[in-house]
Amino acid sequence: MGCVRSRHIKHPPGYEDPVILAAETSFTVSDVEALYELFKKLSCSIIKDGLIHKEEFQLALFRNSNKENLFADRIFDLFDLKRNGVIEFGEFVRSLSIFHPNTPEAEKIAFAFRLYDLRHTGFIEREELKEMVLALLNESDLYLSDDVVETIVDKTFSQADTKGDGKIDPEEWAEFVKRNPSLLRNMTLPYLKDITMGFPSFVMNSEVNDAE
């Protein structure tokens, strides 16, 4: 239903008014409409219900709907704000807004913290960090001995865990990122500033009167 192009217009569950989404995010109304073009494509790539399922997200990221990846799973779970197993349009826009160049750095820092807090304890713990390093090595077909992995994790923890209590809290994380700004590199997608250029067909499907 949500996959049929039509001007009058049965939207899928989770569709939200672009005007409201623009007011609550870093996007303009036109940006949100352009994102809807992308959303329609992603949300109908496998299961044609106008919602992004995990397999569709994996297909878009990896060109492979079966590719398991810890970090893609975390991103999917964070985008799925209602935690109902799918990404709706409103969730898609609100979450992507964090990656907009104009979004305050504090929001990006907070999102990255939640991303790495695998077990939702409110802290990034040493075991979580090691698990993520091992996942990255596995994904990259890289081999490092356990001693080397331990050294990397220990060194990073000694720099980030300034209170020395064996876990990284949000305040320590924010300070660590300020000292290592490259850690936020993939939290900004410059392309989002020009999203209407990527999906010019949004003009044809716009439901918003230019005068609004």
Which residues in this chain contact another protein in the complex, by CB under 8 A?
38, 42, 60-62, 69-75, 96, 99, 115-116, 129, 132-133, 135-136, 139-140, 142, 144, 148, 151-153, 155-157, 159-160, 176, 180, 182-183, 185-186, 189, 191, 195, 198
Which is closer to another protein, CB of 106 or CB of 211? Answer: 106
- Residues in Cβ contact with 103 at an 8 Å cutoff, skipping those fewer than 6 apart: 26, 97, 188
Which is closer to another protein, CB of 54 or CB of 211? Answer: 54
Which is closer to another protein, CB of 84 or CB of 158? Answer: 158
- Given a contact cutoff of 8 angstroms between Cβ atoms, the answer to whether 189 and 20 are in contact is no
- Nearest distance from residue 49's CB to another protein, in Å? 19
Centre a 10 Å sphere on the Cβ of residue 72 and count the other Cβ atoms it contains: 17
- Nearest distance from residue 9's CB to another protein, in Å? 24
| Nearest-angstrom CA–CA distance, 62 and 76 | 14
Which is closer to another protein, CB of 42 or CB of 110? Answer: 42
Can you list the alpha helix ranges (DSSP code H) found in the chain?
A: 18-24, 29-43, 54-62, 70-79, 89-97, 105-116, 126-140, 146-160, 170-179, 195-198, 202-205
- Nearest distance from residue 184's CB to another protein, in Å? 9
User: Which of 134, 181, 133 minimizes the C-alpha distance to 156?
Assistant: 133
- Nearest distance from residue 2's CB to another protein, in Å? 18
User: Which of 209, 198, 150 minimizes the C-alpha distance to 36?
Assistant: 198
- Given a contact cutoff of 8 angstroms between Cβ atoms, the answer to whether 50 and 2 are in contact is yes
Which is closer to another protein, CB of 3 or CB of 75? Answer: 75
- Nearest distance from residue 186's CB to another protein, in Å? 5
